[in-house]
Amino acid sequence: MIEQSRKKEKSTQNKDSGESKINSSVFKLWNRKLHIYAGLYFLLFIWLFSISGLLLNNPEWTISNYWPEREITHFQKEIVQPSESGDLEIAKNLMNQLLIRGEIHETGWGDSEDEFRLQVRRPGQMISIETNFEKNLADMTEIRVNSWGVIRMLHTFTGAKNQTDEKRNWILTKIWSFSIDALAAGLIIMVFSGLYMWYLLSRKRIMGIIFLGLGTGCCLFFLFGITLFL
């Protein structure tokens, strides 16, 4: 009886051990797949922000100096005074009349009730509009930049306003903002999955610890060290 009990206990332990190994293998497999396919999905996003980051950090480069080469166009168009009351709704009505698409960045009124102004932005294009409802005219100034300017603007284009209660009002801005959040979350996941795969490589742990320590020290220096040494 004792021997049978021991055999049964040993069989149960082997079964539990086998299930644990299977679960571990499945986790390793899915972790590796997640790391690879997330990296492939975010590849161009990472390149885009890397290139635009270089342009922002090196304004002396020829390709970074896109602003002097901007194209400025002034023109007038006829409009009909919107029947809406809110600034945002008035701006949307005017944009539909003028066939303009983008993020409404700024609105405001002039010295009279007939003067309304707004600014619409999208990567590579900025349009300032000053309307006169009495004359049913809109004076428009359009600024366009080259492809390098578009790439640089994408780095900082979030549609976020100074007032926290103002929401993004263009669907593409919302999609782009969500993509930035997804990229940030994806990079966090990739970092942890990469750390797990590195931990499994016992032969390379020492070298990994060295580089992890160097990177952590460098990051902490920029986070806290600069302030302490000022």
**Band of pLDDT at residue 228, cut at 50, 70 and 90:** confident
Whether residue 131 contacts residue 138, with contact meaning beta carbons closer than 8 Å, is answered with yes
Q: Where are the domains of the chain?
A: 68-145+161-166, 170-230
What percentage of the chain exceeds 70 in pLDDT? 87
The answer to whether the beta carbons of residues 153 and 146 sit under 8 Å apart is no
| pLDDT tens-digit readout, 49-78 | 999 999 999 989 888 888 988 999 999 999
Residue 62, both tokens: 């020829």
Q: Which helix (H) or strand (E) holds 104?
A: strand 103-109
| pLDDT value at residue 14 | 56
DSSP secondary structure, 40-82, as one string = HHTHHHHHHHHHHHHHHH-TTSTTT--GGG-EEEEEEEE----
pTM of the entire structure? 0.77
Over its C-alpha atoms, the chain yields an Rg (Å, rounded) of 29
| Six-digit token string for 8 | 């049964």
How far, in Å, CA of 21 to CA of 165, rounded?
A: 52
Q: Which residue has the tokens 């055999």?
A: 7
Per-residue pLDDT band for 13 (boundaries 50, 70, 90) equals low
Q: Provide the token pair at 72.
A: 């400025």
Q: What burial letters (b/e) apply to 135-144, b meaning 16+ CB within 10 Å?
A: eeebebebbe
Tokens 């930035």 correspond to 180
Q: Within 10 Å of residue 49's Cβ, how many Cβ atoms?
A: 16
pLDDT tens, position by position, 181-218:
999 999 999 999 999 999 888 888 888 899 999 999 99
228 or 10: which carries more pLDDT confidence?
228
pLDDT band of residue 18 (cuts 50, 70, 90) is low
What is the four-CA torsion angle of 99, 104, 110, 115, rounded to 10 degrees?
20
Q: What is the pLDDT of residue 40?
A: 93
